[in-house]
Structures are given as C-alpha cells and as structure tokens.
Amino acid sequence: MNKKGFTISEMLPLGLTIVVLGIGLSLGLTVLADFRADQTSGSDAYNGTSDAIEGVNKFTAYLPTIALVVVVAVIIGILVRYLFMRG
C-alpha cells in the first residue's frame, strides 16, 4: 500500500515524543540550574552554564509551535487522504 500523509494513529507517538522531549528539557534545565548554583559567579563554568540554560530556554519556547505544526500536519494528512484517496 502506498502511504501518503499522516493518519490519526500516528498522533499518539508524535504526542508522546513531544511530551518526552518536554520532560527531558525540563530535567536538563533543573540539572543545569543545580550545576550553576555550585559555581562561582563570573567564572567560565558559571557563564557557560548560564549560556546553556539560556539556549535550552529558547528551544523550549518553541515546543507549543512544534506541537501545533504536528497537529496541523496530521489534520492536513487526514484531509488529503480523505479527499484525494477516495474510491
């Protein structure tokens, strides 16, 4: 069978991937914050950890957008399959 587009059955793995990604990023931020707390303010380790925390925070800000794109892609895939693959 030639499969085109997304199906509803693919939403669960995609959703779980986003949830696991969010949990992993959250735990990573916690570890980085704990590590930074043990460093001397102004040191290279402190500044590097602060930069890492800032970078991960910027990435986590995109998670809602990523989730929205995944849902829209699944909906478009379902519509394409329904409208163009009938018969």
Residue 79 has pLDDT above 80, yes or no: yes
Residue 4 pLDDT grade (very low, low, confident, very high; cuts 50, 70, 90): low
Which residue, among 54, 50, 52, 64, has the nearest Cα to 21 in the 3D structure?
64
**Residues of the chain with pLDDT > 90: what percent?**
54
Largest CA distance in the chain: 68
Asked if residue 21 lies in contact with residue 64, where contact means CB atoms within 8 angstroms, the answer is no
pLDDT score for 87: 58
> Rounded distance, CA 19 to CA 62, Å?
13
Looking at the whole model, is its pTM more than 0.85? no
Residue listed under structure tokens 């925070």: 57
Residue 20: what are its φ and ψ, rounded to 5°? -65, -40
pLDDT score for 44: 95
Q: Give mean pLDDT, residues 59-78.
A: 88
Q: Give mean pLDDT, residues 41-70.
A: 93
